[in-house]
Amino acid sequence: MTKAFLTRLAVAGTAVAGVLALAALPAGADPAPQSASKGRGNGGSKPDHSVPVRLLTINDLHGNLEPPTGSSGRIVDETGQTVDAGGAAYLAAHLKRLRDRNTLVVAAGDLIGASPLISAAYHDEPTVSLLDKLGLATSAAGNHEFDEGYAELKRIMDGGCHPTDGCSPAGKWKGARFDYLAANVVREKNGAEALPPYVIKQVNGVKIGFIGLVTQTTPSIVTSSGIQGLEFTDEVEAANRVSRLLAAKGVKAQVVLVHEGDQVATPQSPDTCPVVPGPGSRIAAGLDPEIDLVISGHSHQAYICKIKDPAGQDRYHTQGSSFGRIITQIDFRVDRKTRDVIRSSVSADNHVVTRTITPDPEVEAYVQTWKERVSVVANRPVGNITATIARDPSGAGESPLGNLIADAQLEAAREGGAEIALMNPGGVRADLTYPASGSEGDGVVTYGEAFTVQPFNNLVQVVTLTGEQLRRLLEQQWTESYTRVLQPSASLTYTADLTKPIGSRVSDIKINGIPVTDTQRIRVAANNFLIGGGDGFTVFTEGTELWSGPLDIDAFVAYLSAHSPVDPPATDRITFIR
């Protein structure tokens, strides 16, 4: 965004006075051991030789200062009921309830990036400042921390105003007071660390080493230009190297904060372990036995799991959903003599951040200040819809909102000769809901709501692919590890036979009803993340005759304005055979 644009955002608002008093809390009872698993030869330590430690953890906040809406603001609780959850003021209130004198607050990445306008308009400075006030001690870097590039992440950490947009209404940015960690991100030239690999914190006289990791797949899911010169290495190898270093320093109590996780087959109580073993489990099982806990993120799931470490001992592996809907509480004791975690003392619990308690008034005022600052743009109506347009896909992967965005990008890219458009499902961040979120009225879409759906400020681009390349591109939607169905514009139809082997599922490709030939040249529109080969769609990088158009949010807003009222598109562009 330009400096002039941000100046228009900065409407008058009263700054919240003073620092939020979140750390001065009454001491709670020492955590009680619950687990029966034993540690590495120290399970018999006497209580008077140990001290209690409590970790309160979050992950994948994504700048959600206000309570998230739609499906992003609901979660299944411990009783199996779906409840409203999340919002910074409620998060703060729950943290106050759970915190005791032995507490550290830590996180597993994606605290910023893909954020609603209230935070994104100011490059997520409002969210990082709030996390400082909440007492966050450290966090792993997530892939979304790299959304605006490595240089911008360093600015967020170290301070200074944005090089293009300047200072926010809060004044010169002073930098985060907590550490972002990433042991597996190094510079390609010399292997030097790009971010701190670990941090050592002290509680009750004992030292705890936190090792940060970000998913090794980061280069395929962020814009490549922002991370040029960086290498994202194997998570397990990097963590084990740092673990040995910490042990040599005498730090035996070790915790990994990793921005990678597993999927949950069926949402149920957040305290259960119904995960489908994936990259999160691979990392948790492969880490050195010296590492006592694995706190994860990235997959936006809620689970409390145990997994065997290489020495055959149980090790907790947890995740706390996303958008501030879950706080994970982990209690354990550290032996003063061995300086190690007593594994038999570890217990973990996922607490839903319900909205049935009184929100923290100081955080509520803080959020309101930023809401007022951005309201001039956020509350501007940009179009109308006739019903909620959901991002949830059909059983095979096509969603109404994904199709709508593809149609908008195709229209915006006509000047570049676009014939079809494709949208990555991970870039659709929230439903477009029919009920009013404020005073605008049912069915009215505001700029802020549209931005929440499309928060990345990617460019709409066009490249030329042959028909054969388009077929290979569409085949890349299915791999042995995952499925990512690209959302097609109405001009593109094809058949996907899911009973056939991966690599030979796509047939009957048509553009505007006309069959596509292998040698045909086709102008394909997508955001610059996909054009750069993001999400594993490497065939896009074979494209030629690159054309760049407007930002994706501008294309989306223009389409809504031009076609209101907009009906939810049908999900019939892909014919699935199962």
Domain identity same for 356 and 410: no
Per-residue pLDDT of 490-523, as tens digits, reads: 999 999 999 999 999 999 999 999 999 999 999 9
Residues forming a β-bridge with 517: none
| 79: pLDDT strictly greater than 70 | yes
Q: Average pLDDT over the chain, rounded to whole?
A: 90
* pTM of the model as a whole: 0.79
- Residue ending a domain, among 361, 395, 413, is 361
Q: Residue 336 gets which letter from DSSP?
A: T
114 confidence band (pLDDT: 50, 70, 90): confident
- My answer on whether omega of the bond before 126 falls inside 30° of 0, hence cis, is no
CATH code: domain of residue 223: 3.60.21.10
Cβ neighbors of 77 (< 8 A, separation 6 or more) are 83, 85, 269, 270, 352, 354
> Starting from the edge strand earliest in sequence, which strands make up the sheet with 253-259, in order?
198-203, 206-214, 253-259, 293-296, 314-320, 302-308
* Residue that wins the pLDDT comparison between 276 and 505: 505
Residue 23, domain member (yes or no): no
5 confidence band (pLDDT: 50, 70, 90): very low
Per-residue pLDDT of 191-224, as tens digits, reads: 999 999 999 999 999 999 999 999 999 998 888 8
Residue 1, domain member (yes or no): no
Q: Specify the 3-state DSSP secondary structure of 132.
A: helix
Contact 172/220 with Cβ under 8 angstroms? no
Residue 292, domain member (yes or no): yes
Q: Inter-axis angle of helices 235-248 and 279-286, to 10 degrees?
A: 30
Domain identity same for 331 and 416: no
Residue 375, domain member (yes or no): no
- Residue ending a domain, among 326, 361, 396, is 361
Where does residue 450 rank: exposed (0-12), middle (13-18), buried (19+ CB within 10 A)? buried
At residue 572, the pLDDT reads 95
Domain total in the chain: 2
At residue 290, the pLDDT reads 98
CATH code: domain of residue 440: 3.90.780.10
Residue 205, domain member (yes or no): yes
CA torsion 115→438→132→324, rounded to 10°? -70
- HEC letters along 448-478: HHHHHHCCCCCEEEEEEEEHHHHHHHHHCCE
Host domain of residue 385: 380-577
Domain identity same for 139 and 265: yes
| 524: pLDDT strictly greater than 90 | yes
Task: Quote the CA–CA distance of 552 and 570 in Å, as a whole number.
Answer: 21
How distant, in Å, are the alpha carbons of 280, 296, 324 from that of 263? 9, 12, 18
Residue 37, domain member (yes or no): yes
508: enclosing H helix or E strand: strand 506-511
| 44: pLDDT strictly greater than 90 | no
Domain identity same for 147 and 182: yes
Domain identity same for 129 and 185: yes
Please give the backbone phi and psi of residue 462, each rounded to the nearest 5 degrees, phi first.
-135, 135
Cβ neighbors of 46 (< 8 A, separation 6 or more) are none
48 confidence band (pLDDT: 50, 70, 90): low
Residue tagged 């779906």 (tokens):
82
At residue 13, the pLDDT reads 36
Task: Quote the CA–CA distance of 488 and 214 in Å, as a whole number.
Answer: 30
The average pLDDT across 443-456 equals 94
554 confidence band (pLDDT: 50, 70, 90): very high
